[in-house]
Structure 1
Amino acid sequence: MEVIFMNRLSRMSDQNAEYAQLWIGEEEDSWQLGWSRYEEGEREDSIWYEGTSWEELLHIYRHQLAIQMSEGYRPQLQGLFHENDDLKSRSYGGQRLHCYSELYGNEQLYTDLCTWRRKRAVSDRKAPYFIATNRLLRLISAFVPQSLDELMQLPGVGESKATEYGTEWMEITTGLERSTTFPLDWVYTALKEEEYESWLYKQREQKYKQELDKFTTRKQVLEGMKEGYTLEEIVNRSGLSRRELVELLEALDHEGYDTDCLLDVELAVMPENEQEAVWSAYEELGDTFLKPVLHKVYGGEKPDGGSLEQVYERLRMIRIRFRRHAETEKNVG
């Protein structure tokens, strides 16, 4: 195997330096991504990836490296993520306040705020995150504002949100003991640089984990289509819901992937005249909204022997073909 990239990393642990190497090797069109850790003269190797996909290797590389850097390792060679490192540019913004609030928040107060949000969401018939994000509740739990003026010094709290919810938040926080004061400039010096950087890399770890999961799911779906799996088989393989899978099929078809084999299997149970009626409805009404097509074809009633979710699923599948046909006609024209 030929090593084409290697970097040394280190961290301090109990006043002792720990060392590791990150490396990428290639042999006969196969890639290896590995991590070698050194301790007391012993070397421990971990293979993070072995295969032929450079794209998959990069996703795993970013995620695993972010994990190691969030645990304190720092590289000898900078620029490992191949992106502009904006740690310094964000040091004096809201990021430090978010970091402090997640590391030093009052868990009981945070729990009380979450309970309030859940009840308010039910009464307002809103999703909880529309009322307040977890990050905002973390900020309130860490800094414990006790006036509307203090509340509005927190990132994410404007006049509108303070007016709508501020009084209720103050009822929860007023009278509680707190060890910090407003304004919050002190955070920028109180927060240790090392714990701040580790927190930032933890955010990257979560971001890259989401990207890796998305890549892995797409790979499973594409492999499933290639192997001739049914929609239900791919659902079981990928962990997606049927609706999520059909929405992903729409995106994949738009990107140029061949979805016809899977669509043929799934639409085989749908009468041809019914499919033609749906196609005609798309031609007449457009393909932006499904509900008008549903009413046009079925008169507002779902066909016998199927659930409404199943009907919408088939409408989406036919829409995949309709949009591809319309795009082809547009390009030919």
Structure 2
Amino acid sequence: MQIVFMNQMSRTDEQGHSSFAQVWIGEEEGVWSLGWRDIEPEGEAADDDWYEGGSWNELLCVYRHHLARKLAEGYRPIIEGIFNETGEIGGRNLHMQKLQCYSELHGSEELYTELCAWRRRKAASGRKAPYFIASNRVLRLISAFVPQSEEELLQLPGIGPAKASEHGAEWLEITAKIERKTTFPLDWVYHQLPEDVFVSWLYKQKEEKYKQELERYRIRRSMLLGIAEGATLEQLEERTSLSRRDLIEQLEGLEKEGYDTEQLVQAELCTVPDAEQAAVWKAFEELGDTFLKPVLQRVYGQEKGGEEVGGTEKLYERLRLIRIRFRREESSQASAG
């Protein structure tokens, strides 16, 4: 095997003891390998194989995810620039990132739990998704810094005048009961938050980001292989553990990227009468393809719930599959014109 990339890594623990390792990429006859090697004090090596296969793109996803985890554990590269870290640490979002880091490490869990309960009640009464009310990060920031006035609320990233006006009074009613140990403004966070702790936190965020990226890549690859093999949505559910709704969203994404999904679309629509498909197509032409509810009502009526085909959700599934074809045709005609 030929080693095409290697970087030395080191870590120093709280007692001052140093550990050394290597991350490497190798290739042999079109097969890529990726691994981590711990260098023992006696000079012995302990290998941890991270990847072996023929996909360079998948290898990169695995590399970023696993390496971010090692960096979060305190390892640092002897050769800098693995993630362009010097450019990212110290950028324009530094203030926001440091406040977020501090809030996650030092926030009050009791206050955060109370704020989450408030958000659930607010979302239920307004019939909105909780994240429309406030993100977890915003609630973490409030739980850590315990603002006591609207002016202080506005110093927290993610809270602007509109959000403060809408929810500020209720947040301040909750925080007024808490005796805080810190003050505003929050410049003191820069000095109190150790740099190595902050950098490790940043890499932890990257680890989660790259984990999701790797999962998306593997789902997409599994879907493309399944489509090529003639798999149905039901079979893809078993392969990917995604719901049918999520699978169709993935299918729509693949279609936008230019992949041929017709084999799967055809397999799922083969039992839908031609007249019904034609009626849906005509509705898309007349009503547009952005919103599905008007098309559903035009084709199936206000009262029909789709019981004979498995419910309204099944009808929406049909509409989305036909919409894939409709958009493909519209795109093709636009390109030809």
What range is the shorter-chain TM-score in?
A: over 0.9
Contact 2:12–2:18 (Cα < 8 Å) also in 1: yes
How far apart are residue 17 of structure 1 and its match? 0.4
> Bigger shift: 173-182 or 134-143?
173-182
> In 2, are the aligned partners of 1:92 and 1:188 still within 8 Å (CA)?
no
Deviation per CA, 1:92-146: give whole Å up to 9, x if none.
Answer: 5111111111111111111111112212222232222222211111111111222
- Tell me the residue number matched to 1:8: 8
Residues 162 and 18 of structure 1: CA distance in aligned 2, closer, same or farther (over 3 Å)? same
Distance 2:291 2:120 in 1: 32
Moved more, 281-290 or 56-65: 281-290
Q: Which residue of 2 aligns with 1:299?
A: 301
Q: What aligned pairs does 1:44-193 form with structure 2 within 5 A after superposition? A: 44-81=46-83, 85-90=87-92, 92-193=94-195
Residue 220 of structure 1, CA deviation: 1.1
Structure 1: where are the runs of 5+ without partners?
none
> Which residue is equivalent to 2:26?
25
CA distance in 2, matches of 1:173, 1:302: 47
- Residue 195 and residue 317 in structure 1: after superposition, are their counterparts in 2 closer, same or farther (change >3 A)? same
Unpaired runs of 5+ residues, structure 2, are: none
1:262 aligns with 2:264: yes
1:85 Cα deviation (Å)?
2.8
Give the letter aligned to residue 320 of structure 1: I
Of the three residues 307, 322, 325, the one matched with 1:321 is: 325
Could you tell me how far 1:63 is from its partner in structure 2?
0.7
Taking the aligned partners of 2:312 and 2:7, their CA distance within structure 1 comes to 55
- The number of aligned residues is 333
Contact 2:147-2:153 within 8 A present in 1 as well? yes
TM-score of the aligned structures, taking structure 1 as reference length: 0.94
Deviation at 1:32, TM superposition (A): 0.4
Q: Tell me whether 1:35 sits opposite 2:39 in the alignment.
A: no
Partner Cα separation in structure 2 for residue 303 and residue 98 of structure 1? 47
SS in 1 for 2:260: coil
Q: Deviations over 1:226-245 (max 9, x none)?
A: 12111111012112211121
Amino acid at match of 1:45: D
**Percent identical:** 56
Give the superposed CA RMSD: 1.8
| Mean CA deviation greater in 61-70 or 112-121 | 112-121
Distance, in Å, in 2 between the alignment partners of 1:326 and 1:24 is 44
SS in 2 for 1:8: strand
1:137 aligned counterpart, secondary structure: helix
Sort the Cα spacing of 1:295 and 1:121 in 2 relative to 1 into closer, same or farther, 3 A. Answer: closer
The answer to whether structure 1 residue 330 and structure 2 residue 334 are counterparts is yes
Contact 2:306–2:314 under 8 Å retained in 1? no
Distance (whole Å) between structure 1 residues aligned to residue 86 and residue 316 of structure 2: 44
Mean Cα deviation higher: 192-201 or 151-160: 151-160
TM-score, normalization by structure 2 = 0.93
Cα drift, residue 84 of structure 1: 7.0
**Offset at residue 263 of structure 1 (A):** 1.6
Q: Which residue of 2 aligns with 1:222?
A: 224
Deviation for aligned residue 1:278? 2.0
Q: CA deviation at 1:296?
A: 2.8
Change (3 A) 1:273 1:168: closer
AA partner of residue 31 (structure 2)? S
* Residues 123/292 of structure 1: CA separation in 2 closer, same or farther (3 Å cut): closer
